[in-house]
Amino acid sequence: MTPTGYFLEHLWLIPLFPLVTAALMLFIGRRLPNAVVSVLCVGSVGLSFAFALGAVTQLLSADPEYRVAQHILFEWLTPGQMQLSTGHLIRFTADWGYLLDPLSCVMVLVVTGVGFLIHIYSIGYMGHEGGYYRFFGYMNLFMFSMLTLVLANNMLLMFVGWEGVGLCSYLLIGFYFLKKSASDAGKKAFIVNRIGDAGFILGILLTAVTLGTIRFTSAGLTDVAATSGIRQALEAALHSNALAAGAPVFTTIALLLFVGACGKSAQLPLYVWLPDAMEGPTPVSALIHAATMVTAGVYMVVRMNAIYQLSQPARDVVAVVGVVTAIFAASMALVQNDIKKVLAYSTISQLGYMFLALGAGAFAAGIFHVMTHAFFKALLFLGAGSVIHAMSGEQDIQKMGGLWNKIPVTAKTFGVATLAIAGVPPLAGFVSKDEILGRAFETHPGLWAIGFVTAGITAFYMFRLMFLTFFGYSRADDHAQHHIHESPQTMTIPLMILAVFSVIGGWIGWPTSLGGSNQFEKFLEPVMFRVGPATEAASTAQQTSPTEYFLMIASIAIAVAGIWLAYEFYRTKRFAPELVARKMSGFYRVLFNKYYVDEIYDALFVNRTKDLGTLLGQFDAKVIDGVGVDGTGWLTRFGSTLSMWWDKWIIDGLLNFGAKLTQLLSFPIRFLQTGTFSSYALLILVGLAILLAYYQQHLHVVLRGAR
Amino acid sequence: MLPIGHYLFLGLALFIIGVIGVVTRRNVIVILMSIELILNAVNINLVAFSRLYGDVAGQVFALFIIADAAAEAAVGLGIIIAFFRNRETVLEDEMDLLKW
C-alpha cells in the first residue's frame, strides 16, 4: 500500500516553517526582543523536526517496497517542446514537488534534528552577539533551503535549494562582515561554489536532453507516464537499447554532476573555501560546514546513483578524488593550530571518505557516514564553540590545555566525539568508516590502503587536538584563565544529546559480520536498486569472511596506533613534536602552509583574473572612454562650433545686412526727425499750405458754391 | 446778418494766431493754449457755415469739438505734469527724446 497520512500529505510544511520565520526575522526582526526571536526561530525548526518525524513514521508504516511519497504542489515550469538528443520531441516540464523516500528520510531527519539541536545551542552561543535576529533569520533561511534541497523531487528544485544553501553559507560566513577576513572568506566560498554550480547546471541540462526528464522518480505518482522519472526513463532507454550501460553520455553527466558535488562538498580541487569558512560563528560551522550543507554533494550523487551505476569511469574518478582528498586534508589537519581549522580539514577528509564509498558503489555506506559524521562532527564543532566560549574567544590550541576538569561537560562530550571520529568501536564513526573501507577494499584495494592510512592520521590529529586542548597544564594568559567557565545549559544539553547519538547512531547499520543486520542499508535499498542488467558482481550481499574480520581488526589497530602516537607526542612527551618538525622541516613547512594551494590558486587564477580586470579596466579607460566617449564629445563640440559659426555669420549676417541696408538708405531722411514738436508742427503747416495751394481751384469752387 | 466773410476772417485770424503760437512758443502749456485757439477757430467756421446753410449739424460738430478740447486739455496737462516730474522742465525744445 502506498503510505498516506497527515504528515505525508503536508510534506511541504516542513520547509515552510523555517521560511516563514526567516522572512519575519529579515523584515521585522530588528524590532523584536531576543527572547521572541529565540522562541520563533528555534520553535519553527522544532516544528519542522516534529513534522519530519511524523512523516518518516508514517512512511515506515508501509512495506519497504512502497516506502515513497511524492506530492507535486504545482507545475513550476509549464510544459514546453524540447528536442531530445535522440531527435524526439517531448513535452518537458519541471514541477515544484516534494519527495520522501528512505534516502530523503535520512537526510531530512539529520537536517532537522541536528539543525534543531544547533539552533538551541545558538541561543546560548549567540546570546551576547549583535545581530541576533539576523543570525537566526539566516539560519532559518538555510534550513528552508536545505530542506528544499533534500525534499525536492526533481533536479531543478534541488538546484534551487542548492543555491539557497550556498547563499546562506555566504551570508553566515560573512556574518561578522566588518571583519575583512570574514567578508573575504564569504566571497571565496561563494565564488568557488560557482565553479561547481556551473558543472551541476550543465549536468542537469545534459540529463534533460538525454532522458527528457529531470524528475528523480515517478514512484508515488499516479497520473503520469511511466517514464517520467529519471530512473524509469533510464530503464526504458536501456530496455529499448536506445542507450547502452556505460555509454559516454552517462560518464559525462556523472562527471558534470560530480563537479557540482566537489564544489559543495569541498573536494579536491575546490576544497579551498571550507577552511576559510571557519570565519563564521561556530554554530554555523557546525550546521552548515560540517553536518548538513557540505554533505549535499554526497546526497546529490546518491540521489543520482542510477546514472553513476552505469558509468564505471565516473565511479573511479569519484573514488580517487575522494580518497586523495581524504589523505590530503588529513595531512594538513596534522599541523593546524586553530581548533576550528583542524576540524575543518577533518571535515574535508571525512567527506573524502564518503566519496570513496560512493565511488566504490556503496551508496548506502556513503549516506550512513553522512549521518554518523553529522552527529560527531556537529558535536565536535559545538564543543569547540564551547571551548572558545570558555577561553574568551581564543582559538589557538597552543594557548589552551588543562581544561578537562574546568569545563567537564564540554570536555567529556568532546572526548566521545573524538573517539567516534577516530574509529573506536562501538561508536558511530567506527561502524560507518569500517563499512566504507570494507566496501572500498572489494573494488579498489589500492584506494583502500590510502583510506586506511588516513584513518590512522585522523586518529592522530584528533587526539593531538584533544590532548593539547584538555590535558596538560594551561598555556592561556592569566586574564583568560580567570574567565574559564562551563557554558550555559542551552549549550551543554545539545552537546549531551549529540554525544549519545555519536555513540549509538551507528548501531542501526551494525554489520552482519558482528551479529547485526545492517538495517540501514536494507532501509535504503529501495532507492538503490540496480538499474538495467547487472553490470558487475561487486555489490553482492556482504558475506562474513576472514577478510572482513581482518579489515576490521586492521582499522582498530591503526586507530589505536594513531591514538598511542598522539599520546606519546603530546601527553607523555616521549617524542617531541618540535624535534620531528625540525627533522623534516621541508615537509613540515609545506604542510604548515597547506601545500601552498591558496598561493598557487592566487598565482594561477585569482591574480590572472585580477590582471584581466585591470586589462579590461584599461581598455575601458583608453578605448571606450578615450575613443568612444571622448571622441563623441569632440565630434559634438566640432559640430556645434560649425553650427555656431553658421548661425553667427550666415543667419545673423543676413539679418544684420538687411538692417544695415535700411540704415544706409534712411540716411538723409532721418534728420527730419528732430524730436522737437514745434518743428513737426511747422512741417505739418508747410504740408497743409502745399495741399491748400494745390487744391486752390477746388477751394475756390467750394467757396463760391457756399456763397 | 453779417456776411460769412467776417466770420471766416475771425476764424482765420484766430487760426493764424494759434499756429504762430504753436510754432514759436517754447512753453508747452502755451502751445496747448494755442491749440485751443486753433480748435476755436474751427468752431467759429463750423458755426458760421451752419448758420449760413441753415443746417444744425455744424453746430453739433462744434459741441463735439468743445468736448474733445476739454478732454485734450485734461490729457495734455496730465502728460505735462508727468513729464515735469521726470525732467523738471516744460520747455518743448528740451523734449527731444523721440528723435533719431
pLDDT (tens digit per residue) in A274-321: 999 998 899 999 998 888 899 999 999 999 988 898 888 999 999 999
Q: How many helices (H) and strands (E) does chain B have?
A: 3, 0
Q: Does position A458 have pLDDT exceeding 70, yes or no?
A: yes
Whether A372 and A436 have beta carbons less than 8 Å apart is answered as no
**What architecture is the B4-89 domain classified under in CATH?**
Orthogonal Bundle (1.10)
Q: Does B22 touch chain A (CB under 8 A)?
A: yes
Measured between beta carbons, the chain B residues lying within 8 angstroms of A677 are: 92, 95
Q: Which of B25, B26, B98 is the closest to A675 by Cβ?
A: B98
Q: Which of A670, A671, A682 is the closest to B23 by Cβ?
A: A682
Q: Does position A416 have pLDDT exceeding 80, yes or no?
A: yes
Report the Cα A424 to chain-centroid distance in Å: 32
Q: To the nearest whole angstrom, how far is the Cα of B80 from the nearest Cα of chain A?
A: 14
Measured between beta carbons, the chain B residues lying within 8 angstroms of A685 are: 19, 23
Mean pLDDT of chain B: 89
Please report how many Cα atoms fall inside a 13 Å half-sphere around the Cα of residue A461, on the Cβ side.
26
Across the interface, whether the CB atoms of B24 and A678 are under 8 A apart is answered yes
A435 grid coordinates: 563499512
Q: Which of B4, B22, B97 is the closest to A678 by Cβ?
A: B22
Q: Does B93 touch chain A (CB under 8 A)?
A: yes
Q: To the nearest whole angstrom, how far is the Cα of A640 from the nearest Cα of chain B?
A: 39
- B-chain residue closest to A674, CA distance: B99
Mean pLDDT of A555-579: 86
Closest CA to A264 of A351, A202, A332: A351
Q: Other C-beta atoms within 10 Å of A588: how many?
A: 17
Per-residue pLDDT, A532: 53
Q: Does position A335 have pLDDT exceeding 60, yes or no?
A: yes
Measured between beta carbons, the chain B residues lying within 8 angstroms of A681 are: 19, 22-23
Percent of chain A with pLDDT over 90: 42
Mean pLDDT of B64-88: 92
Mean pLDDT of A328-337: 90
Across the interface, whether the CB atoms of A673 and B98 are under 8 A apart is answered yes
Q: Other C-beta atoms within 10 Å of A272: how many?
A: 19
Residues contacting residue A674 through CB under 8 Å, at least 6 positions apart: A680, B96, B99
Mean pLDDT of chain A: 87
Percent of chain A with pLDDT over 70: 95
Per-residue pLDDT, A55: 92
Give the range among A85-99, A106-120, B24-38, B74-88 with minimum mean pLDDT.
A85-99
Residue-wise pLDDT tens digits, A484-493: 888 888 889 9
Q: Does A705 touch chain B (CB under 8 A)?
A: no
Across the interface, whether the CB atoms of A675 and B24 are under 8 A apart is answered no
pTM: 0.76
Across the interface, whether the CB atoms of B99 and A675 are under 8 A apart is answered yes
Measured between beta carbons, the chain B residues lying within 8 angstroms of A700 are: none
Please report how many Cα atoms fall inside a 13 Å half-sphere around the Cα of residue A453, on the Cβ side.
14
Phi and psi for A406 in degrees, rounded to 5? Answer: -80, -35
Partner residues linked to A69 by β-bridges: A100
Q: Is A81 helix (H, G, I), strand (E, B) or coil?
A: strand
Residues contacting residue A563 through CB under 8 Å, at least 6 positions apart: A422, A424, A459, A460, A463
Per-residue pLDDT, A493: 92
Q: Does B27 touch chain A (CB under 8 A)?
A: no
Give the range among A159-163, A257-261, A482-486 with minimum mean pLDDT.
A482-486
Across the interface, whether the CB atoms of B100 and A671 are under 8 A apart is answered yes
Measured between beta carbons, the chain A residues lying within 8 angstroms of B95 are: 675-677
Place of cell 590512522: A456
- B-chain residue closest to A663, CA distance: B100
Q: Does B19 touch chain A (CB under 8 A)?
A: yes
Across the interface, whether the CB atoms of B4 and A685 are under 8 A apart is answered no
Across the interface, whether the CB atoms of A675 and B49 are under 8 A apart is answered no
Per-residue pLDDT, A703: 61
Phi and psi for A374 in degrees, rounded to 5? Answer: -60, -40
Per-residue pLDDT, A541: 46
Measured between beta carbons, the chain A residues lying within 8 angstroms of B53 are: 706
Mean pLDDT of A415-419: 93
Q: Does position A534 have pLDDT exceeding 50, yes or no?
A: no
Mean pLDDT of A525-554: 65
CB interface of A with B, residues 626-685, below 8 Å: 670-671, 673-678, 681-682, 685
Q: To the nearest whole angstrom, how far is the Cα of A650 from the nearest Cα of chain B?
A: 29
- A-chain residue closest to B93, CA distance: A676
Mean pLDDT of A648-662: 92
Per-residue pLDDT, A540: 45
Per-residue pLDDT, A700: 65
Measured between beta carbons, the chain A residues lying within 8 angstroms of B93 are: 676, 678
Across the interface, whether the CB atoms of B92 and A673 are under 8 A apart is answered no
Angle at A430 (CA atoms; ends A425, A435), nearest 5 degrees: 130
DSSP letter string, A22-44 = HHHHHHHGGGS-HHHHHHHHHHH
Mean pLDDT of A155-178: 92
Interface probe for A, chosen from B16, B46, B92, B94 (most Cβ of A below 10 Å), is B92
Q: To the nearest whole angstrom, how far is the Cα of B97 from the nearest Cα of chain A?
A: 6
DSSP letter string, A547-566 = HHHHHHHHHHHHHHHHHHHH
Closest CA to A461 of A306, A534, A565, A367: A565
Give the range among A402-411, A503-512, A625-634, A691-700 with minimum mean pLDDT.
A691-700
Q: Does position A631 have pLDDT exceeding 80, yes or no?
A: yes
Q: How far is CA A676 from CA A303, A543, A683, B98, in A?
A: 112, 137, 11, 8
pLDDT band at A225 (very low <50, low <70, confident <90, very high): low
Across the interface, whether the CB atoms of B93 and A682 are under 8 A apart is answered no
Q: Does position A702 have pLDDT exceeding 70, yes or no?
A: no
Q: Is A464 helix (H, G, I), strand (E, B) or coil?
A: helix
Residues contacting residue B68 through CB under 8 Å, at least 6 positions apart: B39
Burial of A529 (0-12, 13-18, 19+ CB in 10 A): exposed
Q: Does position A356 have pLDDT exceeding 50, yes or no?
A: yes
Q: Does position A185 have pLDDT exceeding 70, yes or no?
A: yes
Which H or E run contains A74?
strand A69-83
Measured between beta carbons, the chain A residues lying within 8 angstroms of B48 are: none
Q: Does A707 touch chain B (CB under 8 A)?
A: yes
Residue-wise pLDDT tens digits, A26-73: 898 888 888 899 999 999 999 999 999 999 999 888 887 788 888 888
Give the range among A124-128, A462-466, A522-526, A618-622 with minimum mean pLDDT.
A522-526
Across the interface, whether the CB atoms of A676 and B93 are under 8 A apart is answered yes
Closest CA to A52 of A16, A1, A21: A16
Per-residue pLDDT, A474: 82
